[in-house]
Structure formats: structure tokens, C-alpha cells
Structure 1
């Protein structure tokens, strides 16, 4: 997995880098097939919610993009990780829900049911 953390109008300190990686580890334990992760942390002084966090996660078969904004950068990262966690779990469920028994392995007289 390639991890890229960058800042826009912001210096990414080792504390911020460590915070993002520990929070991201929580998400990555749900899904192992992550190819590339790109995190962008930015500060914009023109808006009310001036701290933004964006993440682009490339997994096998899909790109997931999530963004969040808050007055505090750590709170924005927390919101970002919560949104990303929900999307990764949903993507994993979609991958695993489409697996059914093949026709030649079904017993005679049974039909597939909608669970």
C-alpha cells in the first residue's frame, strides 16, 4: 500500500502524520486490498469551516473519495475516517454479497432465495 499525506497551506507535522496513520489503520483492518491512499490536509482562511481533510482510496475495482471540513483539523480527520469506514464496509459487503452457489452445485428442486 502506498500512503501519501500532503498539506495545502499547512505543514504536515509528525504528530499529524501519526494521527492520520493510526486512524487510517482502523479503516484498513476491514479491507486488505488497498492499493493506494492519498490524504490532503488543507487550511482555508476565507471560509467558516477552514480546516479540510480529503482522502482518495484506491482499492481493487473502485476508487473511494471522501472529504470533510470542520473548525478543528483533528475533528475533520475524525469525520473523514468515520465516513471512509462506512464506505469501505459497504464496498466490502457488496463484494461478498454477490457470491452464490453455482448452478451445478445446487440440489435439484431448490431455487435461489432472496436473503
Structure 2
């Protein structure tokens, strides 16, 4: 990602520039084409302000945070931008697949009946879409969407995996044997 850093009322620091460029590199996995980031770091009395503008993939996302520590402000604004990018990308995916128009087409559970000796037991069948991603990205996706499990294709092994939330709050991963 092409990054330009501007300092206002603050001495230019190569360490801050490298910190920001390293943090912004994690957004490359969300953008299909190379993006451009304009960063403005400023200090007003005791407030440290970080403002980031990311342009790429028909997106123009702006975030601004102010705290008493510049590094904390940078981390907070980048977390905010990551949420915005994921939300925007999800909207684009839903529009392309047509999910927004026809809600009954995908994702609606359908009932299949399984007969047992003592009676009838219902099995709910739900069709889901899964996409290739890393385990780290799947964990971030689970944090954004409050589900108990996530089915995805592992980008490294090209196999279907299931990430689930355990009762103790940690995550579990189910992988097929090679």
C-alpha cells in the first residue's frame, strides 16, 4: 500500500512512519488492487490525533482518533478502518450474490424429517456459502459476526474447515485429515 504521512505540530519520525506503514500493510489482504493511504498525525496540547484516509477498490474510507498517546491513536483508528473495510466488502459481496433482494433464496433453514422408532425427529438443513481465508481472518470474522461457528475454505490447504466458539470463550478448529 502506498502511504504518505504528514506531521502537524510534531517532529517527523522515521519510527512513526515505519510503524504506520507496517500496520497499513495488513489492509492489503482486503483490497484487490493496490490502495493509497494518506495519514495525518498531529498534536494539539495534550491530544494526539491520527487521521487516516484509505483510497482503493472504489472505496474512500476515513477514520480519525484522538488520545493522549500517538501509538494508541494509530492503533485505534486502524481498528476502526478495518471494521469499515470489512463491512463495506461484505455489502459488496451481498449485492453481487443477490442475497439482499431475495431473502428466502439462501440461508433459510429448510426442514428435513428423519423417522425414528419412537416418533419423528426434525433435522434443520441450512445452505451456507464459504470462502477461502486464513484462520486468522476467520477468527476476526467470528468476532465481527456473533455466530457460534464459521465454515470456510482454508486458503493454505484448500480444504473446508470449521471454526467454532468453545464454552470457555476460546476457539476450536475442525480440519479434515489430508
TM class by shorter-chain length? 0.7 to 0.9
Q: Deviations over 1:26-65 (max 9, x none)?
A: 22222233432100000001xx5x1000001112323110
Q: Is the 8 A contact 2:39 2:50 kept in 1?
A: yes
In 1, the alpha carbon distance for the partners of 2:64 and 2:89 equals: 20
Q: For residues 52 and 3 of structure 1, what CA distance do their matches in structure 2 show? A: 17
Q: Quick check: which has more Rg, 1 or 2?
A: 2
Deviations 1:49-108 (A, max 9, x none): x1000001112323110000100000000101100111111111112122237xxxxxxx
Q: Counterpart in 1 of 2:9?
A: 9
Structure 2: give runs of 5+ residues left out of the alignment: 99-103, 108-178
Task: Give SS of 1:75's match.
Answer: helix
Q: Are the equivalent residues in 2 in contact too, given 1:41–1:53 (CA < 8 A)?
A: yes
Structure 1 residue runs of 5 or longer lacking an equivalent are 102-111
RMSD: 2.0
- 1:81 counterpart SS class: helix
Normalising by structure 1, what TM-score?
Answer: 0.78
Considering fraction of residues, name the structure with more strand. 2
Question: Is residue 82 of structure 2 the alignment partner of residue 98 of structure 1?
Answer: no
C-alpha separation in 1, matches of 2:9 and 2:83: 29
Larger helix share, 1 or 2: 1
Alpha-carbon distance in structure 2 between the residues aligned to 1:55 and 1:34: 16
Q: How many residues align?
A: 103
Find the aligned partners of 1:95 and 1:39 in 2 and give their Cα distance: 26
1:106 match: none
- 61-70 vs 28-37, which moves further: 28-37
Deviation at 1:14, TM superposition (A): 0.9
TM-score, structure 2 as length reference: 0.52
